Amino acid sequence: MTQVWPGSAYPLGATYDGTGTNFAIFSEVAEKVELCLFDDDGNEERIRLPEMDGYVWHAFLPGVHPGQKYGFRVHGPHDPRQGHRCNPNKLLLDPYAKAINGQIDWDPSVFGYDFKTKERNDEDSAPHMPKSVVVSPYFDWGVDRPPRTPYNKTVIYEAHVKGLTMTNPRIPDELRGTYAGIAHPATIEYLTDLGITAIELLPVHQFVQDDTLEQKGLRNYWGYNTIGFFAPHNEYASNTSAGQHVQEFKAMVRALHEAGVEVILDVVYNHTAEGNHLGPTLSFRGIDNRTYYKLVEGDEQYYMDYTGTGNTLNVRTPQSLQMIMDSLRYWVTEMHVDGFRFDLASTLARELHAVDRLSTFFDLVHQDPIVSQVKLIAEPWDVGEGGYQVGNFPALWTEWNGKYRDTVRDFWRGEGDTVGEFASRITGSADLYQHSGRRPFASINFVTAHDGFTLNDLVSYNEKHNEANGEGNNDGESHNRSWNCGIEGETDDVEILQLRAQQRRNFIASLMLSQGVPMLLHGDELGRSQGGNNNGYCQDSELTWIDWENIDQGLLEFTKKVTKLRSEHPTFRRRRFFHGRPVRRGLGDPVPDIDWLTPAGEQMTDEDWDAGYAKSLAVYLNGLGIRETDERGEYVTDDHFYLAFNASHEPIEFTLPSDDYAQGWTTVLDTAVMDEVEPVEVKPGEVVTVQGRSIVVLSGPAL
């Protein structure tokens, strides 16, 4: 007979102290809560939690150690029309579980209703449910320190734990697709050689494999289907016994930190894997449905859906907010992660039907002494009314800049009337961020991300090709701003292959030399393709994994070169905005910190900016106009740079500006050239030919 002590109402979840484990769970509607302990054979012992304080049910069990599998059964009202869905026949995961063992086998018993009659289903779900696991909080972090890389020096690599490592021949088979695979020296060496300072991991919170996908022979690959906000996903661990995947995750973070690489988690606090009113009863729904979910007012059997996934977490209740904040703090303090990218962040700010910049969630983040000090990245859209909110987040936040993505894509595919917008985006999008007192690094710049075409496919396909997803090619975005360069898909045409290679270099150079924080999608620097599939959410296969046996070595070396150029020159990573579009200089006026020039070498006029046909421009970046100090208070200076952009299909001659700007220029980058460029010296006023659809970068000494 297990001994039961009263225990404590805090902290929530299962907390091991060296002698036993305290269990605590919140439910305002519960009439009785049972803790269910499971042995390795699946035998269950039910223990009624004896104490309830502030709607937190709790007990301490001496002798219960890490590795113990458990769950809860909640006795309470079952009235779906009123928003109550308690059913003690359903085993429930602990919302605060630090580890989860197993997956759902999708037996009908995991649902709260009968499929045929729609009446209440009282079958026991325990044999078909994953189990929460007690974990050890003890881990030797050694001298681990967060790198704390400033935003303006950050280069983000958006990666998938499995996709990045699954086929890498330098990683042992048993470690591929795991946290240990990310921690392997082969992965870390690759990231550091590439110039990456932060790896942004697609969701690693415990998520659910969708029954509908498994029936099609597919799997949830991206992981935007969270059920455990404190637990690292168990399928990404090489060892899951006794909750060891927690230790493996910590070891991964420690190894990355040793190499100076930060860990940012893509987190999904806007919804859970329980779906809509027809979804399974796995955790929150059976514990306290009205507290955790936003329900339709006046018809509480249905869920508000701002996410396209069936439900939305109710961030207007203190318990839901507490869970989110507790989770964020846990990943920072216990797992040592360095920041978060919030999926559909606008959802967390919704009050009624508006996105409120002063919502409770943002207030809590700003006030929190731990969460406010790490990197906070918002995906600034959701599917609700007024869903796209780029530029509207508070001061602590940075944002995925979808306008940057769209504009850069349009410019390089030769769309007209884009030069003005392009100029704004590559200089930090001051129109979006300056009004709220933010800096250029508020803009997380990207051309591609997990959701959409890879870089290789962006220049190879006009249309999506998602037939493999089993939805008749109806899924995924149809308006991609892509260009196949003349032939759809794979080709042997040498000219088209050369053009595609050049376009890939254009995109990477634009990304790395723009003001803001660049984010590179894993494998884009290697020429990774998904065969035109722009929605790989269900493709846990070679289609989405990096193919390490077939990489574009030339593109990889080019990416390393341009990333190094960015890291070595503060001109490309300013902490402050330029002074804005300059007025025309008078005779003897000082050279501004930035100057936009026509190919003829003259300052851009309003007519030049408004010319819809214009597809080329040049920008001068003044190395003496940075007007910033470094970490030690010394003024930052750099070389001058001249960047010539030509999105036209024809070569254009660019006349270099006068010696007021620089005494001489040297070519440092040319995207029309695959190999290293010859460092040709050019004098002021001379002409530089920029090939069609290419960038030329020149540097000049700052005297």
- Which helix (H) or strand (E) covers residue 333, if one does? helix 318-333
Q: What is the DSSP letter of 692?
A: S
Closest CA to 620 of 509, 512, 702: 702
pLDDT tier for residue 351 given thresholds of 50, 70 and 90: low
113-128: average pLDDT: 96
* φ, ψ (nearest 5 deg) of residue 621: -115, 120
Residue positions counted in the chain = 703
Comparing 69-73, 358-362, 699-703, which segment has the lowest mean pLDDT?
358-362
Please answer whether residues 130 and 105 qualify as being in contact, where contact means their C-beta atoms are separated by less than 8 angstroms: no
pLDDT in tens, 169-181: 999 999 999 999 9
Judged on CB neighbours under 10 Å (0-12, 13-18, 19+), 4 is middle
Range among 559-568, 585-594, 608-617 rated most confident: 559-568
DSSP-assigned letters across all residues of 587-646: TTPPPPSEEEE-TTSPBPPHHHHH-TT--EEEEEE-TT----B-TTSPBP---EEEEEEE
- pLDDT digit string, tens, across residues 461-494: 999 999 999 999 999 999 999 999 999 999 999 9
Q: In whole numbers, what is the pLDDT of the chain averaged over residues?
A: 94
- Say which residue the tokens 């508000």 belong to: 304
Q: Which of 482, 447, 479 is nearest to 462 (CA)?
A: 482
Q: Which residue has the tokens 């902490």?
A: 575
Q: Using the predicted structure, report yes or no on whether residue 582 has a pLDDT greater than 80.
A: no
pLDDT score recorded for residue 584: 46
| pLDDT of 658 over the 50 cut | yes
CA 237, CA 161: separation in Å to the nearest integer? 10
Catalytic residue list contains 189 = no
Q: Is the pLDDT of residue 604 over 80?
A: yes
Q: What angle do CA 65, 105, 177 make, to 5 degrees?
A: 70
Six-digit token pair at 512? 């790395």
Which pLDDT band, with edges at 50, 70 and 90, does 627 fall under?
confident
What are residue 351's DSSP bridge partners?
Answer: 354
* Angle in degrees, 0-180, between the axes of helices 244-258 and 185-194, rounded to the nearest 10: 40
343 is catalytic: yes
d(CA 570, CA 625): 11
The amino acid at residue 129 is M
Q: Which of 343, 410, 552, 638 is catalytic?
A: 343
Q: Determine phi and psi for 173, rounding to 5 degrees.
A: -50, -45
User: What secondary structure letter does DSSP report for 285?
Assistant: H
Q: How far apart are CA 506 and CA 522, in angstroms?
A: 17
Determine the 3-state secondary structure of 231 from DSSP.
strand
Q: Do the beta carbons of residue 658 and residue 587 sit within 8 Å?
A: no
Catalytic residue of the set 379, 457, 525, 639: 379
Phi, psi at 134, each rounded to 5°: -70, 135
pTM (two decimals)? 0.96
Structure tokens that stand for 103 in this block: 């997956």
CA–CA separation, 575 vs 628, rounded Å? Answer: 8
pLDDT at 474: 96
User: Which token pair is 273?
Assistant: 């894997």
Q: State the pLDDT at residue 663.
A: 93
Confidence of residue 387 (pLDDT cuts 50, 70, 90): low
C-alpha dihedral, 573 to 578 to 581 to 586, nearest 10°: -120
Angle (CA) 427-429-435 rounded to 5° is 125
- Per-residue pLDDT band at 111 (split at 50, 70, 90): very high
Task: Name the residue with tokens 């605060």.
Answer: 96
Helix (H) or strand (E) holding 48: strand 44-48
Query: What 3-state DSSP class applies to 584?
Result: coil
CA angle (174 as vertex; 173, 177 as ends), nearest 5: 85
Spatial neighbors of 634 by CB under 8 A, at least 6 apart, are: none
Backbone angles phi, psi at 59, to 5 degrees: -165, 155
Max CA-CA distance within the chain?
93
Cα-trace Rg, the chain? 27
CB atoms within 10 A of CB 133: 28
pLDDT of residue 386: 57
Which residue in 392, 14, 498 sits closest to 230, CA to CA? Answer: 14
